[in-house]
Chains A and B, each alone.
Chain A
């Protein structure tokens, strides 16, 4: 029994707080990094998908013979060929693997084929003869509400419902359907193992949920399906749901050959879920000093044809419908509508983005009505640690530096008014500089971190000591955000050794890490990595009666007693399951301890507008963000700048245009994404406060940048034009007409 006092690990090179470089950076810069799109296997077939050309139609018959008659076609599979559960879904399995009786959205998969090359597969998919009886699609979310076609209704009531304010402002707001548009489209390779099982390498945010859905739909035993993390070209929520995964595994098992599938861009736009379009009605009551007395809101989001994560997105929209503000009388009603529009689900910000457009416009309306400056009005209502959430009544236990965000934004210098910023309209040069009006707008956003409402949210990580240092094993998906960097940093700092790498392992080799979503992996897989590293260090020091572990090995009183090379032969490893503090489902009034942690961010947008032509240019965004502890400051900044630009995109250009359930612009020519010329200069201030349960106090940082950047840009456009800008994205006609 040792009584030796062990040291805390020394500050280690490549540890937390440093902007260590991405371990995959060089391969990505050389072009040698392997993405799902690049995978190949011996004897590989190509898959393709037959999709419904109608938003709603009864399937009268399907004739696969014309497709099978094409030379080189190995399989054509339809719904009756699905061996197990015919439906899938993240929360509620309701989405057919392949449609059989009715197609419920434009682009819904009806058949899948495998052929010897990609062109043949696509020709065969087009040759499948499906007879449809076209039905009237339900495409209006309000009609769906009336007809009770809903996935979920939310009702929040908190405090005295009879409160009225001296000042009341109302508004109606809309947010369009945004696409995640990750640059890598959906892609994957399924390889049969020769014993009835299959190995799947596909774009994903959550391999364990993919694996379980493949198992269910193929009617296999869990150990027969192994889902492998693979190289992924961005995600932003688009990869949380299954799309080609079950299809690939079906085709591989049916043909006995590896099958690869890659969606093209148009197919990608129908092949994954989108950000929910939202309609929002708000009424804010305040006293004459601008203090919020009551907020009433109605939020309708269009979930499209199948459930995906609509229940959780709607809940988030309602729980965060007031924003980071104190208010003791709240009524929120929410509807997650079921329509024949494309299914909507996870996208960065997950419901919190849409309502921020509404509540921040309302805060500016109140400020204008009362003649109080926008930042001052927000300061008078700022939520703080120890307060109750205005919606759920949950007491906020972790740091919530709303005031610090406001102070930071106020202190950041504005760009010079006379600066020679590029003109709105860019290279068209149609704008006269004399016409340009500059606007400044502010917005704050708040969101939960990790899964909520009683989810058993956990991650498993394993830390091993090997010859060349520590190895963190995980199934947590790297989509570009830098998890492979930060987990290694955590292991280095907690173990005390400078060499650490992250190794992805498949679903058969380690437990679930949960989804790479909800800004959760740094906190949760990071938490598991931290705890595993700490336990491993303690066990090693205990066994060898040491007082320190370094790159040299185990030390006692400054002397090496077990060199690292020997230690590495002893098979040290530690596997930890980390859970965040428990949450609960809310009651019938939406009350309860629903969330595990929160983060807040604020944005100030500076926008130049040509009101005559309806053109604009986002000149600059300043931001302050609550990050807990920046484990890798450069990566945090990368998340902030990238997240802001997605928010700017939603504010001024990104929208899937729907016409009777049909997406009219499923290409990069017509779905506009911000280019480098659209990107504002960004100044970011990271607010670090200790007290969150994440490793070293870290909070998730991925989503907050996207939440209020949209609302801040809209506020700046209002400031420049004096118009009621009540929808995102803003279109030229919203400004010029």
Chain B
């Protein structure tokens, strides 16, 4: 079947079969490899996207279910060639190492700040509780996002 949806602000369509996840569609059909597959079962958050206003793991979303939905991936959090303030803070704050978790964290943090421009440390941690990072120990990520929250406050 063909599903049509709004992807990063633009019309998109994909030919999907029943078992296909939205993550597979991004990576295999739509040339959007930014969303990463590290566990394939919704445990690591590397494939996080925003689907109709809710942050979810795209590996757990059936592609066939997104007909008419609005979807934002890491490729859509900022205009091409521009970093949003969260990406910029993470870049400057040493919050990226191997980078495999980074797109998911960017999506979750961007979603958090969209609804809560100056989250507390606890709120930042709660928002990222589903995103596993194996490299940084999370310290630089928290500091970077606290800096953004401080600038907004």
Contact = CB atoms under 8 A, between A and B. Distances in A.
Interface of A: 19, 21-22, 24-26, 28-35, 37-38, 181-185, 232-236, 264-265, 422, 479-482, 634-635, 637-638, 640-646, 667-669, 673, 675-677, 679, 681-682
A162 to B, nearest CB: 46
A682 B139 contact: yes
Interface residues of B, number: 52
Given A28-B99, A182-B134, A667-B43, 17 more contacts: A21-B92, A29-B90, A30-B83, A31-B35, A31-B103, A31-B106, A181-B134, A183-B36, A183-B46, A183-B98, A233-B36, A234-B135, A235-B98, A668-B38, A668-B44, A676-B133, A679-B138
A31 B91 contact: no
A641 B140 contact: yes
Interface of B: 27, 32-41, 43-44, 46, 73-75, 78, 83, 87, 90-94, 96-103, 106, 122, 125-126, 128-142
Contact of B98 (A26, A31, A184): A184
Given A24-B99, A668-B132, A676 B140 contact: no
Nearest to A22: B96
Contacts, number: 165
B101 A30 contact: no
A233 B99 CA distance: 7
Given A32-B34, A265-B38, A669 B136 contact: no
A669 B43 contact: yes
A55 to B, nearest CB: 24
Given A30-B34, A668-B41, A682-B137, A676 B103 contact: no
B98 A234 contact: yes
Contacts of A35: 33, 36, 100
B109 to A, nearest CB: 11
B43 A38 contact: no
A29 B98 contact: no
A480 B73 contact: no
Contacts of A668: 38-39, 41, 43-44, 132
13 contacts: A30-B34, A30-B87, A183-B44, A232-B98, A233-B98, A236-B134, A265-B39, A482-B97, A641-B136, A643-B137, A673-B134, A676-B129, A682-B137
Nearest to B33: A38
A300 to B, nearest CB: 28
Contacts of A22: 91, 94, 96
A635 B94 CA distance: 7
Give 4 closest A-B pairs by Cβ, nearest first: A31-B34, A480-B98, A28-B99, A233-B100
A181 B139 CA distance: 19
Contact of A183 (B96, B101, B138): B101
A323 to B, nearest CB: 24
Most chain A CB atoms below 10 A, which of B36, B102, B135, B136: B135
Contacts of B74: 30-31
A31 B75 contact: yes
Most chain B CB atoms below 10 A, which of A21, A183, A233: A183
A640 B97 CA distance: 12
A183 B134 CA distance: 7
Contacts of B126: 677
A644 B97 CA distance: 15
A667 B41 contact: yes
Contacts of B41: 265, 667-669
A676 B38 contact: no
